[in-house]
A and B are shown apart, each in its own frame.
Chain A
Amino acid sequence: MRCCSYLVTHRLARGGWIAINGLSGAVDLLDDATKGILDAPPADGPADPELLSRLRQRGYLFADQDEEERLFLAMWERQKRLSQDRPLQFVLCPTHSCNLACRYCFEGSITSRAPRVLGDEAIVAAFRAMDEIAARTPSRKREVDLFGGEPLLPSTLGAVRKSLREAETRGMGVGVVTNGTHLATGYRELILEFRHLFSHFQITVDGPQTIHDYRRPFRSGKGSHGAALEAVELLVSLGIRVAVRVNLDAHNVAYLPEIAEMIVRRGWPEQPNFRCVLAPVADHLGTGSYPALLPEDQLVRDLAEVMAASESARRLFRLDLFRSAKHLSGVLGLASLKGQPMLQYCEANGLHSYTFGADGCIYPCSEMLDQPELAIGSFFPSFEIDEGKAAPWRDRSIVAMPECRSCRVATFCGGGCAYQALKRSGSPMEPACYGAEKVISAFLECFGDRLSPQ
């Protein structure tokens, strides 16, 4: 007998162990004797036939490596099939410019360069390129998400209208990631006209007014808090799905209770078209240029402290934000959804997402704009996918990276950010470790007392 290679165990403060199985998804409480069996499996397994059966059934013990490998590959094939059930995502950036100067912005100087907005001809070309890409998987649904820069600027009104018409013609739902600053004013009429088309909006609110305004000022220095709230208010009232996103780091994590109370006072959580999402501020390129950045395991600890002290924060916010602990938080009832094995870090892996930049290039990731040398193709003036550049993105998964195959937390980590790997090593086909095991450990330290059988 051999023990599962993808296994995380953690000693609980109250005694005993928790085991999280990265091959089967099993989460179990173990006594010391059972933990000892997993540490050094007897050749024929444990003497107790019932325990042997349970440990086999839950994916902890295998007859040999081949048996484990067969299950791993079967899981991979199953995940590939399931991934086709999710819509193919097309991200469209009408511009890379933005009217805000957020302190943690990952897009850097591209948002403040001379404004460039997609014209009608380029937008038509983008949607035709989407048609061609989607034709390779005709049974799959597709959707378009407007992104930027800031997609809803006065200068992009015509481009957004044209994009909505093109999406409508194709029956594609439209999501919008926006700072909301022009939504309730210059974009109100357009949103009313196309309200049937929007699948969701995402608007960032990073704190109470002083905190938000410090983090997300207009380029003039004026705060954007009021405009963002007005935008959320409008969408909630129209019955359009809207998610408030809170970008979290050391600067604002302590203000979550105030954010929760502000949202509750406005009555938004009572509306079925409203959600909140927490998102750690990430530095995928490792620039180290944002001092308030928190390692994810530290953010887990800080969040646990804040949540323990605030009922309103506990009730409003779900802990979906930690990828590597997503399965665990789902099992513990702390996340909205139970997780699946993370064989790919995000939708850029496998090319489940294509980003169309205002530079006419097609990128595998929405964080790569204005770097034509990294693009996998173009849509304007002509459509082309460079298969040589696209292949590593299409193939990237923990299955394809040997270092990941021998890592016990690989199925909770997904191999890390491919863009970060590309910048570091010149190829996306390298792991970009981000301390998944530390995050899982921190999660167990902080929330282990919630563990109880279903």
Chain B
Amino acid sequence: MTSLNLDAELWFAEVQQESAGEVGPLCCWFFDCWGS
């Protein structure tokens, strides 16, 4: 078993790394391409 992402990035990790992801999906017309 080889993990391609870190345990700290898991969605239920108590303290996620900052790089773990941005919040939520995006509207069809207002892409948040800059990052929040």
Are B24 and A320 in touch, CB under 8 angstroms? Answer: no
Q: Spell out A's residues near B (CB within 8 Å).
A: 18, 23-31, 34, 51, 54-55, 57-59, 71, 74-75, 78-79, 82-83, 85-86, 89, 91, 145, 147, 175, 177, 200, 202, 241, 243, 245, 275-277, 279, 282, 284, 320, 323, 326-327, 330-332, 336-342, 344-348, 352-353, 366-367, 414, 451-454
Interface residues of B in 1-27 (CB under 8 A from A): 1-7, 9-12, 19-27
Contacts A25-B11, A340-B11; is A454 near B5 (CB within 8 Å)?
yes
Are B30 and A177 in touch, CB under 8 angstroms? Answer: yes
Are B22 and A27 in touch, CB under 8 angstroms? Answer: no
Contacts A145-B30, A353-B27; is A337 near B3 (CB within 8 Å)?
no
CA distance A346 to B28 in the complex (A): 8
Q: Can you give 7 contacting A-B residue pairs, CB < 8 Å? A: A28-B3, A78-B12, A79-B24, A275-B33, A340-B21, A367-B29, A452-B4
- Pick from B2, B12, B33: contact of A59, CB below 8 A: B12
- A55's nearest neighbour on chain B, judged by CB, is B1
Are B1 and A51 in touch, CB under 8 angstroms? Answer: yes
Are B30 and A175 in touch, CB under 8 angstroms? Answer: yes
Main SS of chain B's interface residues? loop
CB distance from B14 to the nearest CB of A (A): 10
Are B29 and A177 in touch, CB under 8 angstroms? Answer: yes
List 6 tightest A-B contacts by C-beta distance, closest first.
A338-B21, A25-B11, A29-B2, A27-B4, A82-B23, A275-B33
List chain B residues, Cβ under 8 A from A202. 29-31
List chain B residues, Cβ under 8 A from A26. 3, 5, 10
Q: Spell out B's residues near A (CB within 8 Å).
A: 1-7, 9-12, 19-31, 33-36
CA distance A88 to B17 in the complex (A): 24
CA distance A337 to B22 in the complex (A): 7
- A200's nearest neighbour on chain B, judged by CB, is B34
CB distance from A425 to the nearest CB of B (A): 20
Contacts A25-B10, A175-B30, A177-B30; is A82 near B24 (CB within 8 Å)?
yes
